């Protein structure tokens, strides 16, 4: 499954903390490796046989935890799960000590934590690769990778397209990571669509600006609906609001429905899921709805990621 002409050094044995740690050729290697897994559904090589993956999710997850687990199992690995609610985390064991235990049991640790920087801290004490499945509002690198892979698959590429990133841009790690991923490409235009209280955080704006990504802030999707190729919806991250009154002010402040999309032509609608009120169920039947395909790509993209991190690109 090696891809000639592309280096694997960026992946083998590395932590996956942020998509910013990866260059465009690194991402292309991931996507070409994913293509090979998508093309081999019945003949998946067991490149992780004899390996053990540990999952440690300190926050709820359906897609990230279970698609990483599925990816590892399909490649022949065994998976152990920390389950913080029945582990010694409940007795007060620290994150570094917990990670030190997991690294002595497993060859890779896939984790999610509500605190920003938790995956970085884990990487500093772990001798095995840390895969960040989300740390607070900061990073969700594998989500951005599968988002870009979805766009590449459905639109033929990422460059030159016009993007609307919609919703809670303040607290969504998916929105931040997607924007970081776009800095590796040359999008046609990027619109940030959010209510006033949910605008992009300065540190994210400054990072993408320093990397040359230009983005225009808008209050409403309506004026650009017929001008965009990708609409990336994001849930309001209720759990991250420091003040419940602030959540009350913005809840329900944006929503797309089948009728919203009547001018959207062939724009695809992405959403990392889970969805709440911001994305109506009546969108599901439209050809624009791409979020279930996006979620399904989570398995092959994460297979490719684990395969490369475990040195599979060199076999
Ligand atoms: N997209 C995503 O991160 O979903 P989960 O929270 O279910 O993992």
pLDDT 10s digits, 77-86: 999 999 988 9
Token couple for 278: 């911001």
Q: How does residue 99 score in pLDDT terms, banded at 50, 70 and 90?
A: very high
pLDDT digits (tens, 9 = 90+) for 196-206: 989 999 999 99
Token couple for 221: 């999707």
Say yes or no to pLDDT of 309 above 80: yes
- Mean pLDDT, range 13-32, rounded to an integer: 97
Q: How far is CA 258 from CA 13, 164, 236, 261, 264, in A?
A: 45, 17, 20, 5, 10
Q: How does residue 11 score in pLDDT terms, banded at 50, 70 and 90?
A: very high
Q: Collapsing DSSP states into helix, strand and coil, what is residue 142? A: helix
Residue nearest to atom 1 of ligand 1 (CA): 272
Catalytic residue among 51, 74, 139, 140: 140
What confidence score (pLDDT) does residue 124 get? Answer: 98
What confidence score (pLDDT) does residue 89 get? Answer: 93
Q: How does residue 4 score in pLDDT terms, banded at 50, 70 and 90?
A: very low
> Ligand 1 pocket, 143 CB below 6 A?
yes
pLDDT digits (tens, 9 = 90+) for 155-187: 999 999 999 999 999 999 999 999 999 999 999
Contact by Cβ (8 Å): 109, 102:
yes
Q: Is 162 a catalytic residue?
A: no
CA–CA separation, 88 and 98 (whole Å):
8
Query: How many CB atoms are located within 10 Å of the residue 244 CB?
Result: 9
User: Which of the two residues, 250 and 60, has the higher pLDDT score?
Assistant: 60
Residue 256 gets which letter from DSSP? B
> Ligand 1 pocket, 172 CB below 6 A?
no
What confidence score (pLDDT) does residue 5 get? Answer: 44
CA–CA separation, 283 and 95 (whole Å):
41
What confidence score (pLDDT) does residue 251 get? Answer: 84
- Mean pLDDT, range 21-32, rounded to an integer: 97
What confidence score (pLDDT) does residue 79 get? Answer: 98
Say yes or no to pLDDT of 315 above 50: no
Question: Which segment of 33-37, 41-45, 49-53, 146-150 scores lowest on mean pLDDT?
Answer: 41-45
Contact by Cβ (8 Å): 168, 240:
no
pLDDT digits (tens, 9 = 90+) for 180-191: 999 999 999 999
> Ligand 1 pocket, 167 CB below 6 A?
no
CA–CA separation, 295 and 293 (whole Å):
5
212 Cα–ligand 1 center, Å: 29
Q: Is 36 a catalytic residue?
A: no
> Ligand 1 pocket, 237 CB below 6 A?
no
Contact by Cβ (8 Å): 8, 305:
no
What confidence score (pLDDT) does residue 250 get? Answer: 83
pTM equals 0.95
Q: How far is CA 134 from CA 6, 46, 63, 81, 151, in A?
A: 27, 27, 12, 16, 21
Q: Which ligand 1 atom is at minimum distance from the Cα of 112?
A: 8
134 Cα–ligand 1 center, Å: 9
Say yes or no to pLDDT of 257 above 80: yes
> Ligand 1 pocket, 181 CB below 6 A?
no
């Amino acid at each position: 499954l090696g891809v000639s002409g592309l280096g694997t050094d960026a992946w083998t044995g590395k932590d996956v903390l942020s998509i910013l740690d990866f260059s465009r050729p690194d991402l292309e290697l991931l996507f070409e490796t994913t293509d090979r897994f998508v093309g081999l559904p019945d003949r998946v090589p067991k490149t992780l046989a004899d390996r053990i993956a540990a999952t440690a999710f300190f926050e709820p997850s359906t897609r990230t935890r279970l698609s990483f687990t599925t990816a590892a199992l399909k490649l022949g690995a065994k998976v152990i799960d920390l389950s913080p609610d029945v582990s010694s985390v409940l007795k007060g064991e620290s994150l570094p000590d917990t990670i030190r235990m997991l690294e002595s049991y497993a060859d890779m640790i896939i984790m999610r934590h509500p605190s920003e920087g938790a995956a970085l801290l884990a990487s500093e004490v772990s001798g095995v690769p840390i895969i960040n499945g989300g740390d607070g509002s900061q990073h969700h690198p594998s989500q951005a990778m599968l988002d870009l892979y979805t766009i590449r698959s459905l639109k033929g590429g990422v460059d030159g397209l016009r993007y609307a990133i919609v919703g809670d841009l303040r607290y969504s790690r998916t929105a931040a990571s997607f924007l970081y991923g776009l800095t590796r490409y040359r999008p046609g235009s990027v619109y940030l669509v959010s209510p006033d209280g949910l605008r992009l955080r300065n540190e994210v704006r400054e990072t993408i600006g320093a990397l040359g990504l230009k983005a225009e802030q808008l209050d409403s999707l309506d004026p650009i609906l017929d001008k965009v190729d990708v609409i990336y919806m994001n849930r309001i991250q209720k759990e991250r609001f420091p003040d419940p009154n602030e959540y009350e002010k913005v809840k329900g402040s944006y929503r797309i429905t089948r009728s919203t999309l009547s001018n959207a032509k062939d724009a695809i609608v992405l959403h990392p899921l889970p969805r709440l009120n911001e994305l109506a169920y009546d969108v599901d039947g439209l050809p624009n709805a791409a979020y279930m395909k996006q979620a399904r790509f989570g398995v092959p993209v994460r297979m490719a990621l684990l395969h490369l991190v475990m040195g599979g690109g060199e076999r």
